[in-house]
Amino acid sequence: MVQQWSAYEKGISELLQLILMRLSLQYAMFRSSFFSCADTQVIFLFFYFLLSQMILQITFICAVKGLGLIPGVVGRFDSSNGLRVPHIGWNALQTTKDTEILDDVGGHHVYFVHSYRVMPTDANNEWISSICNYGDSFVSSITRGNVHAVQFHPEKSGDVGISILKKFLDPSSSSKTKKSAIGKASRLAKRVIACLDVRANDKGDLVVTKGDQYDVREQSNEKEVRNLGKPVDLAGQYYKDGADEVSFLNITGFRDFPLGDLPMLQILRYTSENVFVPLTVGGGIRDFTDGNGRYYSSLEVASEYFRSGADKISVGSDAVYAAEEYLRTGVKTGKTSLEQISRVYGNQAVVVSIDPRRVYVRSPDDVEFKTIKVSSPGPSGEEYAWYQCTVNGGREVRPIGAFELAKAVEELGAGEILLNCIDCDGQGHGFDIDLIKLVSDAVTIPVIASSGAGAVEHFSEVFEKTNASAALAAGIFHRKEVPISSVKQHLLQNGIEVRACDGH
């Protein structure tokens, strides 16, 4: 069929276009004003949500019967050699032939999120327009005639991705002279994530706030909720400043009905119109019965967040309860929020937020949970500690450690871990390196370090001393104490790959 491509071009083009029309591509393509040129004859395949596996499997030759249009085998990344799977983050492309829609990509990072890939071979070489390296080289885009397909997400790759989409929709906008690469992207970058803790203040307005060990109220007599700005405006500014992702945490979601939280859903919708990097939302993702007795599954709650513009959802308390039950019974019921959401959307869309407290002990034999020898002794000279997980915004401790929770949720379907530390939250003394090393060494999925950042040096420290894939901060960005650009400049100076701030 490859040799007879010209004879099949029209039919294959119509088939692929039909597939895209019936799936989620139209949602991604028509959200923003620059997707107005609908009469283009170029077919652009987003490997998006289910498409990341479905389109690859039906176009490449593989064990599952498909079109067999392109020679190649679809396989999962091998985590046994130390790779974090899913492959999540900003990676570099190496173009293998001139393709106008990729003219502006050279030297820049683009955003990937997937667990499966196709390896380049002599048989499919004539299709390949770019490759990427993650452990080994894999096919990151193909071009044949007027058909283009990409493994990465242009709609989440900032200004570089927007440029790709514009060239796809209007090929005449491409320069006849190929631009030289101005960036220095060479491999998977460490991510710098801006987090916005969102809640209603005492007047009912949704505001961005920041806590001191999870206390978000001012220390004045009025005890008002600390107000650091409007969520949509701040998210847009962080995108312009070079944040690799933006995370919203509805910190009162554990006690409210998420689907009744229209302002939070509106924040996602408005933000996704102008922020073209991944958006994560967390808070209140769980099964729920409203005041009228109507039952809503956690999958329904997550689906509404996805429809409103979220790319990933973060599960907190519900993940703790699910892990406890799984460790007690050893049975995957398929009914937990992690299993339901990952089954429909893929584990790359599911983040588990862990909120532990450090508990010092004199000996590892004192507790049944995983302990570590701490770098700084406890208040009574204790040399060991374990990290006890909490729920309900840190208000209630549970009989499970962060180590045990992380390994359990990975098995239940989590694709990423957001690792907080209540002891470090808002202190500005740096991340809890002991905790982050413990958890990031225990799992094969990416880990995001959170809580405690107060200086640029804290970011380089966590990347140099642990296997964290990303680092998240809130207060230092909100208060403009440390600009995102300064963090990235410092990381580059220390030999740590990051996405350039001018490449969004």
DSSP string, 3-18: TTHHHHHHHHHHHHHH
Distance CA 247, CA 471 (A): 12
User: In terms of DSSP bridges, do strands 295-296 and 288-289 run parallel, antiparallel, or are they unpaired?
Assistant: antiparallel
Residue 198: count of CB within 10 angstroms of its CB: 25
197 part of the active site: yes
Of 194, 153, 2, 176, the closest CA to residue 98 belongs to 176
Of 104, 197, 241, 434, which one is the catalytic site residue?
Answer: 197
| CA angle, 94 then 99 then 105, to 5° | 50
Task: Find out whether 276 and 309 touch, Cβ atoms under 8 Å.
Answer: no
Distance CA 304, CA 281 (A): 11
- Radius of gyration (C-alpha) of the chain in whole angstroms: 23
* Identity of the amino acid at 354: I
Of 355, 423, 432, 434, which one is the catalytic site residue?
Answer: 355
Token code pair at residue 89: 């983050």
Of 246, 243, 252, 234, the closest CA to residue 198 belongs to 252
Phi-psi region of 451 (alpha: psi -120 to 50; beta: other; left: phi over 0): left
Task: Specify the long-range contacts of residues 57-66, CB closer than 8 Å, at least 24 apart.
Answer: 59/149, 60/118, 60/124
Name every residue whose Cβ is closer than 8 Å to that of residue 299 and which is 6 or more positions away in sequence: 337, 340, 341, 344
355 part of the active site: yes
Distance CA 215, CA 393 (A): 10
| CA angle, 396 then 342 then 344, to 5° | 135
Name every residue whose Cβ is closer than 8 Å to that of residue 99 and which is 6 or more positions away in sequence: 129, 130, 141, 143, 148
Find out whether the peptide bond into 399 is cis, omega within 30 degrees of 0: no
For the packed helices 337-345 and 402-412, what is the interaxial angle rounded to 10 degrees? 40
Token code pair at residue 40: 């283009």
- Cα 69 to Cα 54, 62, 306: the distances in Å are 14, 11, 32
| Catalytic sites, residue numbers | 197, 355
